[in-house]
């Protein structure tokens, strides 16, 4: 991969849906769709035939296409569907724009080379979610030509609204003249500094997602804290949840709901009398995990607190 002098200059602006629709006829828009957020994506891509392809190849594409990223050359009709996915899932992916039309097979070859990277330590590659729109600006900011190599001939990336903004956003890229010349032939190795920067952003985005969720569920309670105080509350209780063995995002979210409804330290201070016994007991009882037993105990104690707006 050819190194370019950092930083990779990205200009941020706004674009509306109508403007994108006007550009569909030129054949210069391509979307990366993550099927994890919408299981209909593989079926749609099958209908779109020569205009779409799964980035996972062969058997992986057959077995894991509902969890895979898909590439789609946009037209007016497909753009309508893509924006419907974006409305349901802010992590759906993003749209790339090129100055000239680029064949689908060229994009597929390029993006498949980025699906896996080597971490700073360890002999095995790991999945690289470069198609997560919440990470793309951080990825583009990584030094040593990373952004230019990743985006190939793209001259812009278009992002839908998310937790941090309410409008479509455009990232204008310094499109390289050599197009796909920087496509890696072997998986790229991330440095520790690069990985740390990506992980920091990943955690930041997750905390913002938790903050939005809790603010919508318990607006009065969350309004009593500043944004920084609320994020600190989320970080502290996420660490507690992790130490108790709750690593999945949905389980951490349940723990945060209980902490919001029953107070910081609820798991040990008797706010939920059965909490200590549940957390010190077996992981599963009759197939029910600890976190769900904890929620059930809280609901039995005071179900009203677990309803939207139930904490005042």
| Residue at which a domain ends, from 189, 223, 253 | 189
Indicate whether 164 and 201 sit together in one domain: no
d(CA 194, CA 147): 12
Indicate whether 25 and 140 sit together in one domain: yes
Domain count along the chain:
2
Indicate whether 171 and 32 sit together in one domain: yes
Closest CA to 115 of 51, 186, 198: 186
In degrees and rounded to multiples of 5, residue 13 shows phi and psi of -150, -165
DSSP string, 220-235: HHHTTS-HHHHHHHHH
Residue 3 maps to a domain: no
Residue 266 maps to a domain: yes
Indicate whether 150 and 273 sit together in one domain: no
- Residue 305 CA to its chain's centroid (Å): 30
Cα separation values, 248 from 20, 241, 275, 308, Å: 36, 10, 19, 22
Residue 311 maps to a domain: no
pLDDT in tens, 186-211: 999 998 988 999 999 999 989 998 99
Indicate whether 130 and 20 sit together in one domain: yes
Task: Report whether 301 contacts 272 (CB < 8 A).
Answer: yes
Closest CA to 107 of 153, 56, 172, 67: 153
Q: Enter the tokens of residue 306.
A: 């677990």
Q: Enter the tokens of residue 228.
A: 């920084």
For residue 298, the 8-state DSSP code is: H
Task: Report whether 304 contacts 310 (CB < 8 A).
Answer: yes
According to the model, what pLDDT value does residue 11 have?
84
Q: How confident is the model at residue 38 (pLDDT cuts 50, 70, 90)?
A: confident
Q: Enter the tokens of residue 221.
A: 């309670």
Residue 1 in this model has a pLDDT that exceeds 80: no
d(CA 261, CA 222): 11
Indicate whether 182 and 237 sit together in one domain: no
Residue 3 in this model has a pLDDT that exceeds 50: no
Indicate whether 141 and 212 sit together in one domain: no
Q: How confident is the model at residue 2 (pLDDT cuts 50, 70, 90)?
A: very low
Residue 111 CB contacts under 8 Å (≥ 6 apart), including other chains: 32, 55, 69, 71, 130, 131
Indicate whether 48 and 165 sit together in one domain: yes
Asked which of 74-88, 96-110, 128-142, 294-308 is least confident by mean pLDDT, the reply is 74-88
In degrees and rounded to multiples of 5, residue 162 shows phi and psi of -150, -160
Residue 286 CB contacts under 8 Å (≥ 6 apart), including other chains: none
Indicate whether 200 and 278 sit together in one domain: yes
Q: Enter the tokens of residue 155.
A: 């001259």
* Strand, coil or helix: 161: coil
Residue-number span of the structural domain to which 223 is assigned = 196-306
Residue 40 maps to a domain: yes
| Residue at which a domain ends, from 189, 216, 243 | 189
Residue 312 maps to a domain: no
Indicate whether 162 and 256 sit together in one domain: no
Q: How confident is the model at residue 14 (pLDDT cuts 50, 70, 90)?
A: confident
For residue 187, the 8-state DSSP code is: P
Indicate whether 117 and 224 sit together in one domain: no
Q: How confident is the model at residue 299 (pLDDT cuts 50, 70, 90)?
A: very high
Indicate whether 50 and 155 sit together in one domain: yes
Residue 35 in this model has a pLDDT that exceeds 90: no
| Residue at which a domain ends, from 171, 189, 207 | 189
Q: Enter the tokens of residue 198.
A: 């990506």
In degrees and rounded to multiples of 5, residue 73 shows phi and psi of -80, 125
Q: Enter the tokens of residue 207.
A: 């905390």
Residue 283 maps to a domain: yes
d(CA 269, CA 218): 22
Residue 2 maps to a domain: no
Residue 1 maps to a domain: no
pTM of the model: 0.78
According to the model, what pLDDT value does residue 105 have?
93
Task: Report whether 283 contacts 293 (CB < 8 A).
Answer: no
Residue 100 in this model has a pLDDT that exceeds 50: yes
């Amino acid at each position: 991969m050819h190194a370019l002098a950092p930083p990779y200059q990205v200009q941020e602006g706004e674009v509306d849906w109508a403007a994108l629709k006007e550009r569909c006829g030129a054949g210069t828009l391509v979307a990366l769709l993550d099927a994890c957020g919408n299981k209909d994506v593989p079926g749609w891509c099958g209908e779109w035939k020569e205009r779409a392809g799964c980035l996972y190849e062969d058997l992986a594409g057959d077995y894991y296409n509902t969890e895979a990223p898909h590439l789609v050359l946009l037209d007016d009709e497909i753009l309508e569907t893509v924006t419907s996915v974006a409305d349901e899932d802010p992590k759906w992916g993003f749209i790339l724009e090129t100055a000239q039309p680029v064949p689908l097979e060229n994009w597929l070859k390029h993006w498949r080379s980025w699906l896996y990277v080597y971490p700073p330590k360890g002999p095995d590659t790991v999945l690289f979610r470069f198609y997560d729109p919440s990470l793309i600006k951080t990825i583009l900011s990584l030094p040593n030509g990373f952004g230019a190599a990743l985006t190939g001939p793209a001259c812009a990336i278009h992002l839908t609204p998310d937790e941090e903004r309410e409008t479509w956003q455009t990232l204008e890229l310094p499109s390289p003249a050599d197009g796909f010349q920087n496509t890696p032939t072997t998986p790229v190795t991330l440095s520790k500094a690069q990985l740390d920067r990506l992980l920091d952003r990943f955690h930041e985005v997750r905390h913002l997602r938790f903050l939005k969720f809790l603010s919508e569920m318990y607006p009065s309670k969350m309004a009593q804290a500043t944004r920084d105080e609320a994020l600190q509350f989320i970080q502290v209780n996420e660490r507690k949840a992790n130490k108790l063995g709750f690593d999945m995002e949905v389980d951490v979210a349940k723990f945060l709901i209980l902490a919001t409804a029953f107070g910081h330290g609820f798991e040990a201070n008797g706010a939920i009398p059965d909490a200590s016994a549940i957390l010190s007991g077996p992981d599963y009882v009759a197939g029910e995990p600890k976190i769900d037993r904890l929620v059930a105990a809280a609901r039995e104690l005071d179900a009203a607190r677990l309803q939207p707006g139930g904490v005042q």
